[in-house]
């Protein structure tokens, strides 16, 4: 893991793009850190790298968003979870997680803290607030 300092939303998006270049289909990425530390902006960067044209935002009413991604003329799905509102293991079970974890998709999980015993990511990205209002520390 190394520490990256972001000074703006676009820094965070660029870090997401850079991180994405090492990903491949089948990867599961856990994103953790306080509210407003930039997880969703980082996800926007990952999605930009994979040519997603759908709107990338935290799923508000649903727990997971599905995007069509494309790399090297090859199409696949990105699943973007936000588990902030998950309170019980039953809620997790009811999501039918198994349907999302397959070798063709890339799965991004915000608030992975809320599913520690259910989801085993092969990458972790940690977010925290920095010294001033627009600074974020992103470790991966
Ligand atoms: N360096 C930065 N990188 C990313 N966002 C920043 C930065 N500086 C300020 N911001 C602001 O912080 C907020 C980050 O929001 P974002 O939705 O990406 O966070 P999040 O970690 O996904 O939050 P949540 O836990 O609520 O889903 C935005 O309002 C953004 O404008
Ligand atoms: Mg978010």
Spans of all domains in the chain? 3-139
Out of 3.40.50.150, 3.40.50.300, 3.10.20.30, 3.40.47.10, which CATH number does the structure's domain 3-139 have?
A: 3.40.50.300
| pLDDT value, residue 62 | 76
Task: Find the ligand nearest to 65 CA.
Answer: 2
Output the ligand 1 site: residues, CB below 6 A. Answer: 6-9, 11-12, 35-41, 58, 82, 84, 110, 127, 134, 136
User: Ligand 1 atom closest to Cα of 134?
Assistant: 8
The model carries a pTM of 0.96
Q: What is the dihedral of CA 109, 25, 55, 117, to 10 degrees?
A: -10
Report how far ligand 1's centroid is from the alpha carbon of 73 (Å): 31
In terms of Cα–Cα distance, which of 16, 134, 122, 28 is closest to 83? 28
Least confident range of 3-7, 18-22, 35-39, 85-89: 85-89
What's residue 60's pLDDT? 66
pLDDT in tens, 23-62: 999 999 999 999 999 999 999 999 999 999 999 998 666 7
CA distance 119 to 13: 25
Q: What average pLDDT score do residues 103-122 get?
A: 94
């Amino acid at each position: 893991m190394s520490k990256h300092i972001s000074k703006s939303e676009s820094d965070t998006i660029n870090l997401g793009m850079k991180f994405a270049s090492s990903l491949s289909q089948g990867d599961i990425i856990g994103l953790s850190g306080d509210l407003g530390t930039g997880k969703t902006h980082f996800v926007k960067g990952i999605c930009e790298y994979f040519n997603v044209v759908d709107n990338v935002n935290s799923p508000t009413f649903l727990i997971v968003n599905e995007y069509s991604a494309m790399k090297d003329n090859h199409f696949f799905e990105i699943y973007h979870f936000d588990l902030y509102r998950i309170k019980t293991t039953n809620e997790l079970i009811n999501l039918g997680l198994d349907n999302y974890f397959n070798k063709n998709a890339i799965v991004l999980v915000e608030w992975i803290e809320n599913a520690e015993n259910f989801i085993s990511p092969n990458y972790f990205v940690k977010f925290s607030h920095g010294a001033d209002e627009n600074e974020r520390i992103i470790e991966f």
